[in-house]
Copies of this chain bind each other. A is one copy, B any other.
Amino acid sequence: MAITGSILIGNEEIVGTAGTQRAVNPATNAEMEPVFGGGTLEDVDRACTLAARDFDAFRNAPLETRARLLETIADNLMALGDELIERAMAESGLPRPRLEGERGRTCGQLRLFASLVREGRFLNVTVDTALPDRQPLPRADLRSRKIPVGPVAVFGASNFPLAFSVAGGDTAAALAAGCPVIAKSHPSHLGTSELAGRAIQQAVATLGLPEGVFSLLVGVGNEVGAALVQHPAVQSVAFTGSRRGGQALMALAAARPQPVPVFAEMSSINPLFLLPAALEIRGAAIAAGLVSSATLGVGQFCTKPGLIFGIAGPAFDAFKIAATDWISAAASATMLNSGIQQAFAHGVGALGKASGVKKLGEGAEATHSTAAQPTLFETTALEFIANPKLSEEVFGPAALVIECRNADEMVKLANQFEGQLTATMHLEAEDHALAARLLPVLERKAGRIVVNGFPTGVEVSYAMVHGGPFPSTSDARATSVGAMAIERFLRPVCYQDFPAELLPTELQDEHLAEHARLVDGKLYTA
């Protein structure tokens, strides 16, 4: 499939006329073909208007069609074969195995959502039967289900050009809910975005669904994205990226005449707490695992462990020595783009100069301007408390080890965090008392708590929570990974005393048993 530098509006492809943009290969800094034309505000309006026009037709299409749409997108992505992988490699600097794995994950989540759509539990079918003889007043027949909120704007992330971008988790969840999607291409992987967008555009056509179900915009500068968030047709926004970017979209969405929710996944430093017995028994293994997790994907994961807390003593000293050995052996690698590399260099530079912060060790020197040198720092709890800048996310292969004087100090520090996607404890049975003190704090601060593992590697499953209190996300009640992600794009509607003929199919008596349901407060499985 040729990449033409187009934007996709419904079933059309056009070359935008508002400026031009090219993808850049971060490994070579070379600009890539083709030129991409930026969309105009009229293009934004057309895409959004189509989405609004076709919303009812899409949401009322059979659930089987919606499920097959998701599966067809996955099939189409696979059919792109090496073209997709090679373009994503060139645009992101990520290696083939990582991107092949990410493609598998992307298709896996599309298929998971297809299975959710077929199963229909997300409809939240609820019936309160009429009580015509109730005193003093009869009760009406009340039935509710969840319906999609409307067109969703999707802003993908640079660090997952497949799984968190145009055909990624947000798009899959929104389409599964029955929401048309207007995606914005990430400037860091324009060609990958176009290929994924075409895979979706084709799937929409194959299923005979109306074209407004999906559009893909390219924007030079921030105007297109801002106009998308402000468009009256857009009813929800999904974003993965920086705290600054997420907060800008939140402000735009809140200032609309009709405010809409923004689900922004933004910023997390993912603290690790190394409890004394665990350090004593397997400190060296933890050090190896930590460095591996912090440098995985060049440290460019939302769940990279960035702060490591331990309690002063010989075991913690040994851990630091082992971690220094591992980081010293770590390779340099290409980051996603030069902006991210510069931010990383700035963050590492600031840490290196911060009062009371010492460099523990660093990996291979960067071999070119977009590469990162893995680096491990250390400081004390007192310095950490004194300098709030030390708890800011440094996106990339760097981490800060913090020495606490005792368990109380560790618990105190845990209480001072902002919201996190994850928090991790390494512990043994002897550590349970301290873990039980940390746990309620971590529950309040994080969406996922990991024991004896590392936070990178986010399973796409039913129990997964990839979300957490602000600023890790804009809404702690949501997750952007896993089955629960569909909830973001649904709202309940209640039907009172409807004749059967007008009821949505799934709420009609003869179809109730097809889905899980709550009848007069009692739960039934499908």
Q: Which residues of A contact B (CB under 8 A)?
A: 55-56, 60, 101, 115, 119, 121, 126-128, 136-137, 139-140, 142-144, 147, 149-150, 250-251, 254, 258-261, 418-419, 429, 432, 435-436, 439-440, 443-444, 446-453, 457, 459, 461-465, 467, 469-471, 474-477, 479, 483-484, 490-499, 501-502, 516, 518, 520-521, 523-526
> Are B259 and A250 in contact (CB-based, < 8 A)?
yes
**Chain A: interface secondary structure?**
mixed
> Are A496 and B448 in contact (CB-based, < 8 A)?
yes
> Are B128 and A453 in contact (CB-based, < 8 A)?
no
> Are A259 and B461 in contact (CB-based, < 8 A)?
no
Q: How far is the CB of A97 from chain B (nearest CB, A)?
A: 9
If A140-B459, A501-B432, A502-B451 touch, whether A493 touches B471 (CB-CB below 8 Å) is no
Residues of chain B within 8 A (CB-CB) of A447 are 491-494
Q: How far is the CB of A482 from chain B (nearest CB, A)?
A: 8
Residues of chain B within 8 A (CB-CB) of A462 are 126, 128, 518, 520-521
Count of identical protomers in the assembly: 2
Residues of chain B within 8 A (CB-CB) of A150 are 444
> Are A524 and B525 in contact (CB-based, < 8 A)?
yes
Q: How far is the CB of A8 from chain B (nearest CB, A)?
A: 25
CB < 8 Å neighbour of A448 from B440, B475, B493: B493
Residues of chain B within 8 A (CB-CB) of A501 are 432
Residue of A101, A137, A147, A451 with highest tally of chain B CB at under 10 A: A451
A504 to B429, CA, bound (A): 16
Residues of chain B within 8 A (CB-CB) of A498 are 449, 451
CB < 8 Å neighbour of A259 from B258, B474, B484: B474
If A128-B461, A435-B502 touch, whether A451 touches B491 (CB-CB below 8 Å) is no
Nearest to A104 among chain B residues (CB) is B136
Residues of chain B within 8 A (CB-CB) of A435 are 502
If A447-B493, A465-B493, A465-B494 touch, whether A523 touches B121 (CB-CB below 8 Å) is yes
If A56-B440, A259-B470 touch, whether A451 touches B518 (CB-CB below 8 Å) is no
> Are A495 and B259 in contact (CB-based, < 8 A)?
no
A521 to B111, CA, bound (A): 13
> Are A142 and B443 in contact (CB-based, < 8 A)?
no
A467 to B490, CA, bound (A): 13
Q: How far is the CB of A507 from chain B (nearest CB, A)?
A: 9
User: What are 24 A-B interface contacts by the 8 Å CB criterion?
Assistant: A56-B440, A115-B521, A121-B523, A126-B462, A126-B463, A128-B463, A142-B459, A144-B484, A250-B259, A258-B471, A260-B470, A261-B477, A432-B501, A439-B502, A447-B492, A448-B493, A448-B496, A451-B502, A463-B518, A464-B494, A465-B492, A477-B491, A479-B492, A523-B525
